[in-house]
Amino acid sequence: MRKLILLAFLAGAVHAEEKVLRYVPKHEELKYTFGGAAPTHHVPPGTRIVSWTEDCYDGAVTKPDQLPTKVIPPGHDNPQTGPFYIEGAEPGDTVAIHINKLEPARDHGISSFFPGFGALNRTDRTAVLGSDLPEKVWFYDVANGMARTRSLDGRLTWEIPLAPFLGCLGVSPGLEVRSTVVPDFFGGNMDCPEVRAGNTVYLGVNVPGALLSFGDGHYAMGDGEIIGTAIEGAMNVDLTVDLIKGRKTEWPRIENAEWMMTVGAARPLEDAARVAFREMVLWVRETSGLSEMDAYEFVSQAARAPIVQMVDPEYTVMVKIEKRRLPRLVSAATVR
């Protein structure tokens, strides 16, 4: 099934005078950190990467009665495809990742509750009374643009519209190796639904070649990801990497024709929001020419700020502004 779906996906690729890398990693080629791994390929800017990535369970969960904690090897969460060495990328540059197309690579998705994970259970940092919640798994049938599953007792069913995105997209952080469970300034496990087809993600370069990788396919997810997982699944991935020389990007930025978006990650949650809001104020200043105080006021009145996820070691908040709301120059005739 995986091979047939992947070949159908590749059939739509454009070939005319375009640098295209087609790469389906073997399982032993997957990586489990951001940084600290040798690149699988060197690619020049402008390369279209048509590839595939495994689900967050490392492909180990194949039926509903398997508990992820019993079958996933330690340290094998969120396996990554890559990393890709982008030729000419140096610290102080920015990598632009244009996401062309994302498609589920399997006819099912998986969600689960991990003990000690999620937003509404006890953790080592949140002391509550009562027993721990039990580990559970939900399999979703994926077809006709929907994901469908049943309640644990089998009596009820529900469906969720598919909205595929990459839970992980990141570059090497530079000074250290980071787990694929963590989001931060380098991208990583942002679990951000806007890392989707049609959008461009900007990540700052921290080491020569950037070392870009991606994984953790999500077929759909609600804001907050409160149970700790999305509807997870292997993903067919089609993206194009570009390089912006001399432009430094401190935290991930995302853009399309209508919206500009910034991502912050931290704990507590308000610090993640502060990072994302600060980055939006800076971006608005760069774009519009507003002063710091004017940009602060504009963002305060115009921004939207969904809680992306509040389950990972660092929480993620996104701030977004409609481009049509950006300030415009006052005509000379109206200036007094």
The residue with tokens 């595929």 is: 164
Please check the confidence at residue 151 and state whether its pLDDT lies above 70: yes
pLDDT value of residue 3: 38
pLDDT digits (tens, 9 = 90+) for 234-248: 999 999 999 999 999
pLDDT of 11 > 60? The answer is no
| 123/115 Cα distance (integer angstroms) | 9
Please give the share of the chain, as a percent, with pLDDT higher than 90.
85
Phi-psi region of 143 (alpha: psi -120 to 50; beta: other; left: phi over 0): beta
3-state secondary structure of 42: strand
CATH class of 257-328: alpha beta
Residues 44/88, Cβ–Cβ less than 8 Å: yes
Question: In Å, how far are 69, 185, 215, 327 from 263, measured between CA atoms?
Answer: 30, 9, 18, 22
Q: Residue 124 has what pLDDT?
A: 67
Q: How do residues 13-46 score in pLDDT, each as one tens digit?
A: 333 357 999 999 999 999 999 999 999 999 999 9
Which pLDDT value is given to residue 208?
98
CA 259 – CA 267 distance, rounded (Å): 26
Determine contact, residues 229/56, Cβ cutoff 8 Å: yes
Interatomic CA distance for residues 57 and 118, integer angstroms: 16
pLDDT, tens digit (0-9, with 9 covering 90-100), for 303-336:
999 999 999 999 999 999 999 999 987 765 554 5
pLDDT at 88: 97
What kind of fold does domain 2-244 have according to CATH?
A: Jelly Rolls (2.60.120)
Place of tokens 């991990």: 114
Domain spans, the chain:
2-244, 257-328
Using DSSP bridges, classify how beta strands 20-23 and 47-53 pair: parallel, antiparallel or unpaired. Answer: parallel
Q: pTM for this structure?
A: 0.91
Residue 257 Cα distances to 101, 247, 324, 328, angstroms: 16, 20, 10, 17
